[in-house]
Amino acid sequence: MLKTTRFLFVSLLTASLMACAATSQSPSSSVEYQPAATVQVVKGSPATTPADGAITLEQIMADPDWLGRQPEQAYWADNSDAVYYSRKRQGQPIEDLWRKPLGAQDNGELVSLATLHQHAYQNRVLSHDGKQAAWQFEGNLFIKSLPNGAVRQLSKGNIDADNLTFLLDGRLSYQSGDQVFALDPVNGMIEKLADWQFKEQPQALEKPADYIASEQQKLIQVVAQKRADRQANFNYQRLLTQQNSSIASQPFYLPEGLQTVQVSLSPNGKWLILALQPEPKSTDNGDIMPSYVNEDGRIKALPARQRVADAKPVNHQLWLLDLVNHTAQHLSYNHLPGYNEDVLASVKQENAQRKGETYQTNRLPRDIVLLEDWYWQGSAIQWQAKGDQVAVMLEAWDNKDRWLATVDLANKTLISQDRLHDDAWINYRFNSFGWLNNSETLYYLSEKSGYANLYTQVPGQKAKALVSGQFEVDNLTLTQDDQYIYYQANQSHPGVYEIYRVGLDSKKTEQLTDLKGMTEYQLSPDQQQLLLTHSKLSLPPELYLQQASAGAKVTRLTHTVSKAFLDLPWTVPDVVPVPSSHTQQPIYAKVYYPKNVQQGAAKKAVMFTHGAGYLQNSHLGWSDYFHEFMFHSLLAQQGYVVMDMDYRASRGYGRDWRTAIYRHMGKPEVDDLRDGVNWLVANAHVDRQRIGTYGGSYGGFLTYMSLFTQPDLFQAGAALRPVADWAHYNHGYTSNILNTPDIDPIAYERSSPIYFAEGLQKPLLINAPMVDSNVFFVDTVRLVQRLIELHKDNFETALFPVESHGFVQPSSWLDEYKRIYKLFEREL
């Protein structure tokens, strides 16, 4: 995903809303939000310059510890009377764990290293009766009795345990390599439940290889006797294993040439589902990434990821292992609707026609894999609590279909329950699903309505919409009694995320929070309270507490922002709906105004384009782009108007907005930027001839496409860590949008800036990190060579030898933004 990695985004925090209001006005106190369909402006506050100083690049690009260090990865204590969170240590890369009792008045207390194993249980698993919790700490297993709080250590450096979970009988199961074990926490007994090997089942005797061997075994008695002894020992060992319960069962023998992708054991311990894939035949070592600045003073060759142009199709095999009867069955995909549909036929035909060829539709089986959601931590294999039902979520390798299927355990077949097809691509978000705790009913997210909505479905019956509308639903939490599903949604405004719940029986939806910003949540273990992580446009995330009921009082838990941050005059942007020339939906954008913009002459402006493509930045919460927020405040102080648009492809606005760039990246987005420029000229007194643009990663790509394909739009641009040729980017992201270069070269060639470099007319700054493991430095090298060959002399390149995709060193941040600022000052 093309998003600038924010290694330093562990630092920005805020004090209370009351205190912050004195220095940075928040829109939350005065704005009432209307339904998302209503065009509206959310007002921010103009920049002001205090008499005693102003925002400086040196200050805002310094090590962000000066701002304060925000609480991260917050979770509940198991008795619901305290919360834990991680916080970066001042001046060090270490993340400390803090414990905050709900009644404490300060930020809580640092958990000591000596007791860390008793508290660091964020990823714990619970027993089915809810009385025990288990977790791993530094490779060791721990179990806790929740009624009395007693913690016991079950292992010390001797268990490699993955997929830790409780079985119905109270034992802990875990995976270790290609084996699954069960550990009895009462007596410490470990049982191997299953192991699988990718080879033919061993036999006592091999058949004679040829005539010579055959005759040897007939004629020579000692040879025949040795063979008879081996057969006797083999038969004895097999009978011993079958008849003696103290011995673990024999391995499952599966086809050679496969490797394990994922493993899921049923709660009753009777079934095991394996996802397998072919072992890679060879490793492509054709590319390296040189690292020039190293401790030994020598150049180091770092491994480089695979390009989308080099990716080969992957297919997962699903196998059902019956642990009671010791049988293994391959689960065929032939029962999935569309499993052999040629979904890219029209694309292949278009590309064939360009070459003067024709394409014949095929009906070959498609490659299908377990779906991997980029934002959900759950497994693509989900068992119902009793272990008698299981569901799997699959996707086609071509990205056009998602199937939710159950497994008929008796007949050992897949049964499709829901097929989600998208002519563009299946979203890599909004794929969470599961079973109700007390019935064989599925719940899941789907974009089938055009937005990510919530559905329930009894297998074999039609799905029912539980929460639906023109908004996005995510982050589901099912209560233990199946009464409610809690969720996060932007129902009232595309940029406002609140917490809701819906009754499974009543179908009634309740809005629980009303904080008007970006709000995330965790439901307490007693299911009575919400731990909230909330932020606003100019206020970084802090922790809050609220009872799990509508309209309940909200209590602030943490106060961590620095006075130095509070004392600076940050500009709070408006969030405005810019009318679109191409869709009925407006384009939501942040606008930073300088003081008295309505009274002055025509202004200069900067258009910032966020990274990732599929990212929402014009919401009303704190942005991942905190350096840019501060930079935009500085620009506003210097008389610039700054716009930050959620162009088509951005997240938060539904499926059609997301997929508008299918097979033509860089066209809809730049068209939207033009609408933004027109809005600035008409509404913010901006001079059309004094507008520049910049952005990083996907935003850098859009800087290229703007300057190369619509050169009249901006007077200058800065492209940071930009993509120049999508064929050189990764498979997981790019193939969704552009298919693959061997199938759809048309899409790659009309979406890659390197093919349009001759269009450059205005000054261009390229800022390129040299050890970028995401967007390779070679992208910049190839584009610069192309510009040289085109005799372009209106570009400059700045290199950052020690930085990867997300900058870390404050000196690099400062140098990069000094160059951007100088570009705009010189050209605008």
The model's confidence at residue 190, banded by pLDDT at 50, 70 and 90, is very high
The model's confidence at residue 44, banded by pLDDT at 50, 70 and 90, is low
Higher per-residue pLDDT: 16 or 760: 760
Note the pLDDT of residue 40.
Answer: 61
Note the pLDDT of residue 211.
Answer: 95
Residue 51 has pLDDT above 60, yes or no: no
Distance, in Å, from the CA atom of 463 to the CA atom of 466, rounded to the nearest integer, reads 9
Note the pLDDT of residue 282.
Answer: 63
Report in angstroms the alpha-carbon separations of 643 from 536, 596, 681, 692, 695: 18, 17, 12, 10, 12
Note the pLDDT of residue 283.
Answer: 55
Residue 15 has pLDDT above 70, yes or no: no
Written as one letter, the residue type at 649 is: A
Residue 260 has pLDDT above 50, yes or no: yes
- Using DSSP, state whether 687 is helix, strand or coil: strand
Number of H helices, E strands in the chain: 14, 44
Which of 135-139, 237-241, 635-639 is the least confident region? 237-241
pLDDT, averaged across the chain: 92
Note the pLDDT of residue 24.
Answer: 33
Distance, in Å, from the CA atom of 641 to the CA atom of 129, rounded to the nearest integer, reads 58
> What is the per-residue pLDDT across 642-687, written as a single tens digit (0 to 9) for each?
999 999 999 999 999 999 999 999 999 999 999 999 999 999 999 9
Note the pLDDT of residue 28.
Answer: 30
Cβ contacts of residue 347 below 8 Å, gap of 6+?
Answer: 663, 739, 743, 744, 747
Note the pLDDT of residue 286.
Answer: 58
Average pLDDT over residues 12-35: 30
Quote helix, strand, coil % in the chain, to nearest 5. 20, 30, 50
> What is the per-residue pLDDT across 115-137, written as a single tens digit (0 to 9) for each?
999 999 999 999 999 999 999 99
Average pLDDT over residues 136-141: 95
Helix axes 221-243, 211-219, angle to 10 degrees: 90
Note the pLDDT of residue 53.
Answer: 59
Taken as a whole, the chain contains a residue count of: 828
Note the pLDDT of residue 157.
Answer: 87
Dihedrals φ, ψ of 15, to 5°?
A: -90, -165
Note the pLDDT of residue 450.
Answer: 98
Closest alpha carbon to 772 in 285, 295, 283, 305: 305
Closest alpha carbon to 85 in 560, 643, 737: 560
Note the pLDDT of residue 618.
Answer: 98
> What is the per-residue pLDDT across 559-603, written as a single tens digit (0 to 9) for each?
998 888 988 999 999 999 999 999 999 999 999 999 865 555 679
> What is the per-residue pLDDT across 707-748, written as a single tens digit (0 to 9) for each?
999 999 999 999 999 999 999 999 999 999 999 999 999 999
Question: Tokens representing 10?
Answer: 């562990």
DSSP letters along 361-426, please? ---PPPPEEE---SS--S-SEEE-TTSS-EEEEEEETTSSEEEEEEEETTTTEEEEEEEEE-SS--
Residue 41 has pLDDT above 90, yes or no: no
Average pLDDT over residues 519-542: 97
Question: Tokens representing 115?
Answer: 């007791």
